[in-house]
Structures are given as structure tokens and as C-alpha cells.
Chain A
Amino acid sequence: MTSIGTGYDLSASTYSPDGRIFQVEYATKAVENSGTAIGLKVKDGVVLAVEKLIHSKLSVPEANRRIQTIDRHIGLATAGLLADGRHIANRARDEASSYRDTYDAPSPLKNLAERLGLYTQAYTLYSSVRPFGISTILGAFDKEGPSLYVIEPSGVYFGYNGAAVGKGRQLAKTELEKLKLSELTTKEAVYEAARIIYLVHEDAKEKEFELEISWIGQETDNVHLPVPRELQQDAEAKAKAALETFE
């Protein structure tokens, strides 16, 4: 059935007669309007990359980051409403900190993903709030090794080897599926991630963008950090070259 004009789509606390919650579906639309974000879980680490669309040439390059750090070993990338992304990141930091308080150990990502999934889900229950207009990619290196999760606006979360959210996610997923992720090193994954972001941006070529990319793993002593400038520049140069030969 169509949602518009029925009155069943005005609140997160309302089901339609066929059992859908339209407000949550609309929230996912906010995600689809945003630049692509991807995550790769590989042999010895995790790489996060974001296609950051530049809305003004007056903005300062490398400021206004969309990949955030949650704990030493956890990174987070969002697609959707930027301000919602900051809200969820702040919540994630509180959760990670509270885990440390209780157990005197870094939070396993599985645990954090579950907590954030519950938090996100709570915003789909009431008419007094709206759902989060974001999909969140979480990457970490914890005691289990590298780890990658995605949380959707509905509150569902799954673990992934390769994840993509935002406008170009279909193409990005297709590209991720071609990779032997479990055999890549983190460094190799940086090159692949850069290539994929450049590739998916082809569909929105008229807009300027900036690649934002971070990693966690053996290379960084299991700390979430931006990829070093020289490596990123090299990865971008290779990505541009790959674009020429694509197809």
C-alpha cells in the first residue's frame, strides 16, 4: 500500500494496517541521500572510508570529519543526518566508557553494537521522538580480533566482513563482494577502500568530494587513527588511475 496521505505514516508509534512503520522507512530515506560510507574487515584490521560531499568551497579541507573515534580501539562512520551521527557517537563513547568503568577493560565491539542497537530501537517506539536518520558502521580491533558491525535506523544490527551504507551502497557492495577480504592486509584494504569510494562517486560526479579514511589494526597498534597522509595520497592516486581503466 502507499503510505502518503493515509495518516499511518506520521508517527514512529503507529503501524500501518499491513504492519509497517513508515516513519522508520522514511528515516532510511535520509540515509540514502547522503554520501557513501564503507567498512572492510580484513585479516589483521579494519578500514573505514567515507565519501564526504563538499557543499561549499569555503570549507576547510580535513576539518568537519565524518569518521569518529569512540574508544582507543573503536571507530565509527555514519551516513545520513550528520548531527544524528554525532549524537550516536556521543552515546557510543558513553557506553564504551561505562563498560571500562565496570570491567576495567576495553569494550568488545559486539557488546557496544548491541547497546547502540537497543538505543536506536528505542527511538522507533514513541511518538515523542523520531528515529535516527543514519546508518552507522562500527569498526574495532578487540580481544576477538578485527570486528565490523552496521546499525540501521530500525535498531537492527549485523556483523559484516564488508559493509556499505548511503547513496552508493549497491555498487560498493558489489565491489566489496569481489574482494577476498579475509586475505587482505589492512594496508591493502586502504587501497581497495579508496578505489571503491572513488568508483561510487562517479554517479554524483558533479559534486565535489573528499575521501576520509581511517584504520585500526596491527599497523596502528590496535588504535583507531586516520590513515597517514602519504598512504592516503598514494591510495587516492591509485584510485584515480584505476577509474580510468575501469570498464
Chain B
Amino acid sequence: MSIAAQTDSCPRQPIVTGTSVLALKYKDGVMMAADNLASYGSLARFKDIQRLHPVGKYTVIGAGGDMSDFQYIQKFLEQLIIEEFTSQDGHDLGPAQIHEYLSQVMYSRRSKINPLWNSLLVGGFKDGKSFLSYVDLLGTTYSATTLATGFGAYLAQPILRKEVEGRENELTEEEAIRIMESCMKVLYYRDARSLDKYQLAVITADGVKISESRHLSTTWSFAEGIRGYGAQTQ
């Protein structure tokens, strides 16, 4: 098949989308956050979507971008984990291996000009070591102690860096939750594709825990003074 024919049939935009994912390293492991919204264009279409997904015993992936592509990714990773489990030989895939595999899939799909339209964070904890890395629809990867995708890369990342960098081994879970909460709040105020309902994932030596949905309390009284908002007539 020619490249032209392939590009004709491949998606050129995501349809139902999720927005930012945030993650940071702290004393006990890795924490990740993402809200529960899946948008259809500018419509807030689904408000109960989980965008943090456990993969095996040591890893969580968080996704922004096309939600159906993300569901597909969840499915093939599930098959991978089952394959690994059925070997029953004491070997299993950690976050680093899952990230490597994901980046191979993402890069090969983009090279076929048929990308899986996501930016993903892979966080985990195995053998006493934290892992946090990024991969996106182009197959681009990078690692840092704080990461953010989507609008979060502009709005939350500076805050995360300021709060976390250099303090990765001191931050407690409570502090990490507080930092995440404040970042999610900034995103909810300024990202029109975000929601005030979100979940936190923590990956530590105890394994993976994904929280129930949490609510952000925000105040919007200042909005009355903003031109073009609410009941103003002019």
C-alpha cells in the first residue's frame, strides 16, 4: 500500500479526548494525577472516565489524548501482562520495560503514519527504585522527576518543578497530595477542557493504589468582574 493510501485512511485528529496528566516522584515512590473528563471537541461529553490505569503490579500509565486509542493501549498491555503471568517463571515486567515497549509501539505506529493519538506518562516502583517517564504519539520519550502532559506542561510543570526538584527524597505523601491538588486547581481554572473531579495514583513498595475520585473546591466570584462572562450585557 502506498503512503498516500495509508494517510487517507488514518485518523488525523483525536475524537474523544482527555486533557493533562501530572506526575511527580516523592519519598516513597511516584504519584500521578488526572481528571475524569473525556471531551468531545469542546463538549464535556463523559465525566466519569478513568485516565489512570494500572499495568501489572508495579506500574501505572496515565493518558491524555484520544480515549479510544487509550482503551486500545490498555487492552494490549493487559494481554502482555497475562502473557507474562502465564510464564510463571518469577520474571515480570517493571515500569521501565513497559515504558520501553510502549515507546516502541508508539514509534512504529507513527512511522506507519497511523499514530495512537496519546501522550502518556508511565510511573512505577520496582526493586526499591522509582520510575517516571513520558511517551507520546510521535514516539518521543523523556524522563524527569516531575512530568506533565497537555496543558499541564505549560500550566503545572513550572509549579511542580518549583515544589519538587531537589526534594524528591524528602517529600511526604501528604505534601505530594497537596502539590498535586494545587496544580489540578490551576488547571481547572485555566484549562477549558478540564474537570474538578480527578483521581490520584500512588505507586510505592506496597504496590499500586488508585484513589476514588476527588473533588476540587474552587471559587468563581471573581468571574463576575470578567468582561464577557455571565450576565453582563456588553
Co-assembled chains A and B: yes
The interface of chain A, by Cβ under 8 A from chain B, is: 65, 68-72, 93, 97, 100-101, 104, 226
Query: Which stretch, B79-87, B110-118, B174-182, touches the partner chain A?
Result: B79-87
CB distance from A67 to the nearest CB of B (A): 9
Determine which of A68, A93, A104 lies in contact with B83 in the assembled complex, contact meaning CB atoms within 8 Å. A93
Determine which of B75, B79, B88 lies in contact with A69 in the assembled complex, contact meaning CB atoms within 8 Å. B88
Prevailing SS type, chain A contact patch = mixed
Q: How far is the CA of A62 from the CA of B83 in the complex (A)?
A: 21
Give 4 nearest A-B pairs by CB, closest first: A69-B86, A69-B88, A93-B86, A97-B79
- Name 20 extra pairs, CB < 8 A, besides A65-B88, A69-B86, A100-B82: A68-B86, A68-B88, A69-B85, A69-B88, A70-B86, A71-B82, A71-B86, A72-B82, A72-B85, A72-B86, A93-B83, A93-B86, A97-B79, A97-B82, A97-B83, A100-B78, A100-B79, A101-B75, A101-B79, A226-B88
Q: How far is the CA of A93 from the CA of B82 in the complex (A)?
A: 9
CB distance from B93 to the nearest CB of A (A): 15
Determine the interface band of chain B, counting residues with CB < 8 A from chain A. Answer: under 10
Interfacial chain A residues near B75, Cβ < 8 Å = 101, 104
Q: For chain B residues 86-128, which have a beta carbon within 8 Å of chain A?
A: 86-88
Interfacial chain A residues near B86, Cβ < 8 Å = 68-72, 93
The interface of chain B, by Cβ under 8 A from chain A, is: 75, 78-79, 82-83, 85-88
Interfacial chain B residues near A65, Cβ < 8 Å = 88
Q: How far is the CA of A5 from the CA of B88 in the complex (A)?
A: 45
25 A-B pairs in the complex with CB atoms less than 8 angstroms apart: A65-B88, A68-B86, A68-B88, A69-B85, A69-B86, A69-B87, A69-B88, A70-B86, A71-B82, A71-B86, A72-B82, A72-B85, A72-B86, A93-B83, A93-B86, A97-B79, A97-B82, A97-B83, A100-B78, A100-B79, A100-B82, A101-B75, A101-B79, A104-B75, A226-B88
Interfacial chain A residues near B87, Cβ < 8 Å = 69
B75 (CB) vs chain A CBs: closest residue: A104
Q: How far is the CA of A101 from the CA of B83 in the complex (A)?
A: 13
CB distance from A22 to the nearest CB of B (A): 35
Q: How far is the CA of A69 from the CA of B84 in the complex (A)?
A: 10
CB distance from B181 to the nearest CB of A (A): 33
CB distance from A72 to the nearest CB of B (A): 6
CB distance from A56 to the nearest CB of B (A): 21
Q: How far is the CA of A101 from the CA of B80 in the complex (A)?
A: 12
CB distance from B83 to the nearest CB of A (A): 7
A69 (CB) vs chain B CBs: closest residue: B86
B85 (CB) vs chain A CBs: closest residue: A72
Interfacial chain B residues near A69, Cβ < 8 Å = 85-88
